[in-house]
Amino acid sequence: MADTPGEDIEAAILRLAGERGAGKSICPSEAARALAGSDEKAWSRLMPAVRAAAVALAKDGRIVILRKGKPADPDAFKGVYRLALPPEA
């Protein structure tokens, strides 16, 4: 599954975040597991691609990357992060 196209990953992130709803977030590994299944080796290989897709979506304003519950700069965040839909304007 490591060859999953970026569009599939982006779609999984947006679908899961949408299902979770406004004001709630998902763990990036949820998107990886949705695409690769529960085998840890399979979904962990997707994590760099999930991060890249999350950064692209955040730069497009389609999601927000959260670090310690606060929006993070998509170009500069490190460590554990979560993904959420942007707040309603």
Per-residue pLDDT of the chain (89 residues; tens, 9 = 90+): 445 567 899 999 999 999 999 899 999 999 999 999 999 999 999 999 999 999 999 999 999 999 999 999 999 999 999 999 998 74
Question: Which CATH number does 6-84 carry?
Answer: 1.10.10.10
Q: Are 14 and 63 in contact (CB under 8 A)?
A: yes
For 55, counting Cβ atoms within 10 Å of its Cβ (0-12 exposed, 13-18 middle, 19+ buried), the class is middle
Q: pTM score, two decimals?
A: 0.91
Cα separation, 41 vs 68, whole angstroms? 26
Helices (H), 1-89: 6-20, 28-36, 40-59
